[in-house]
């Protein structure tokens, strides 16, 4: 099983180390699924982790460590050029295109992406963990 973790899931994992997003990240580290990322995903995560409101809760060292972990351990796929517009938030279309191009599930907490569940394999972190338990 391959999955793309939306940057909001990774940030949530850092903010709440016992919640479903953190458990999903640990599941990847335990080899339960292959993580797919892209340069744009890593850039978005890097930018978000530098926001002052997050920097007060996630210090620079853990932020850099998770970026390094993803860059070294995930399958880094090229971003899809000009992804089709399918999401109410066009800034999220690249995540759908990435997941689709790699035949991967998309794990997100974004309501715009979750609204597309009937059309794409999009899961919350908790739903994805349940899916892994049933099929993994």
Mean pLDDT of 94-117: 97
Q: CA 127 → CA 4, 13, 102, distances in Å? A: 14, 15, 20
Mean pLDDT of 52-64: 94
pLDDT of residue 81: 93
pLDDT of residue 80: 94
Span 39-55, pLDDT tens digits? 999 999 999 999 999 99
Mean pLDDT of 71-93: 94
Q: CA 63 → CA 4, 6, 73, 76, distances in Å? A: 18, 15, 15, 18
Mean pLDDT of 51-64: 94
Mean pLDDT of 24-34: 97
Span 114-127, pLDDT tens digits? 999 989 999 999 99
pLDDT of residue 136: 66
pLDDT of residue 12: 97
The answer on pLDDT for 4 being more than 90 is yes
Q: Quick one: how far is CA 30 from the chain centroid?
A: 16
């Amino acid at each position: 099983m391959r999955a793309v973790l939306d940057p909001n899931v990774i940030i949530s994992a850092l903010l709440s180390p016992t919640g479903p997003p953190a458990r999903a990240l640990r599941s990847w580290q335990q080899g339960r699924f292959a993580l797919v990322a892209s340069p744009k995903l890593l850039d978005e995560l890097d930018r978000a982790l530098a926001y002052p409101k997050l920097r007060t809760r996630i210090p620079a060292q853990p932020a850099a460590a998770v970026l390094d972990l993803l860059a070294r351990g995930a399958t880094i796929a090229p971003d899809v050029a000009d992804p089709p517009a399918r999401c109410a938030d066009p800034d999220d279309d690249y995540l759908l295109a990435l997941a689709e191009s790699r035949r991967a599930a998309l794990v997100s907490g974004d309501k715009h992406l979750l609204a597309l569940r009937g059309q794409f394999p999009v899961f919350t972190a908790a739903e994805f963990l349940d899916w892994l338990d049933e099929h993994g």
